[in-house]
Structure 1
């Protein structure tokens, strides 16, 4: 999903009945946010007085705070819960210990990606999951159908908010609230803020140093207020999901529905690193193992526009007169100040090759590159 695909309303309200709202919805309205439908949730794209480019730049240079409470939350608990989850999803939970997080994928039988998600290993008997908003119910349904006796799968979508603090000054923001900082990338700690529990995760979707905080739903507004004040004290901004999209694209991070999906497997998306190939089993293993061995599928590459224009999803990519691929995500890079894209390309196309992107009948020259498109100022690891 890209910002151009969203149903927006400049008045600050979603304008569409039936959309779910985060615990911070009234805060967004008060800040003059432009809201849109993200996976059935009314969420901010950008804020009045900011805008996507300003918010993006705040994260790259200072710090920003995002509401991502639309993301799903689910808990798998019971004897052997970790082993059960490990038999379902692609990555290998045995590579990490309690208190660690891991990127993984839920596949269908054909190897297509039902969802990509973060799994938090609480212990042998408990795993906490963060799926994408629109896919949470499906992931929970699949897990419940496969769960052995004694293991419960609970949809906790409305139990927690999720607030992301991202950028080079993120540690200073959390320190000012007395929250823990400095733990390893892809780890999490249980903490308290003003007597309320909050999970502090060293995770994010921007490439910059940052944290994702999970307060209880009811306490999320107070925490947002405090974080926003601290972010503004550091010269930062509240940031919408428009900036989140440009930030993640600059890093080459995939978005489900664009760069991952039923027709785009981990092998095609360049996400084979998140597959535990040595595991005895996981959903869809046979299909993706066969595809990996065949070495025939298209592969995800980066494109940098060398001419004026902005690539968009579904634009054809040509080499000479031959169509050699299709853009899956495209945007304007505020950091590079030029168009960038992720694209599925034939294996005959190599990094360094020159191609053309057909944007509504206008040909834009581009170079094939290996993401990320930018060098972040503070490395995740």
Structure 2
């Protein structure tokens, strides 16, 4: 556990008091460029990322709750590692071979982000931390027993955060199982490179020519759509607010970067805030990215500066395998077999010009 693990020099540990619950253990990584990344055991989460803009002003470029209690009631999934399967599983069920598995429905009739017993709500163990000339890292570990959340097999998961002196933040996921089970992990942090206001003035580029078609419940139909000539065409960088009103409900879709889902690092997206000069480039081993524009944020909770978290206050760029893959034979499989190792790497590169 965190309390039992000695922190290397330069890595800061702390706790966040929470009424009626054990304090949340946190750790902060920092580099020579002034970037600070605060992590938490709950959901192996990203609480904040502080960077400077082109003028030297420091801001937290993630949405973070003002009230610590909201980290425990985090139905917006701010900053957490989600799984076993990120995104939606239609009808809250899937089959492996002849066996059907039923999952808790926590998004209408569907299963979302691993359900109420998913990895996002667990207190992960911190099992390793390192600090050296290249940067700092922390590794979290969690176990999901057989049958938890309706999933088969016992799943062991590790997530390492590495903050480099080159201003990169790498997330490296590893998982093993003793029975065939679906695994598609991601982090659900909400970016706001301005550190305030909303994200409609941000500019986004996504390196994808296709998008998964969705039904009315935001579950994939199995069809891939061409983005050309549509409001979801982000192949050239454009302002997020430019076409969002032409896409009913706002953006909440999976852009397919690699139809074959080869596990090699590839450019995924670049998010830019012209006024501050900040940008974050994303490369990942994953097949694509779920771009969610914060459509369901409703002002009922406040961010750290006390302002309400309104619609479009932040956006998610969630790298993972095809959503609802177990229910579509034409999608690349996300089933992890015994004796195999699930591996995912996603790297965020920060800059301010």
Normalised-by-shorter TM-score class: under 0.3
TM-score by length of 1: 0.24
TM-score by length of 2: 0.26
The structure number with the bigger radius of gyration is 1
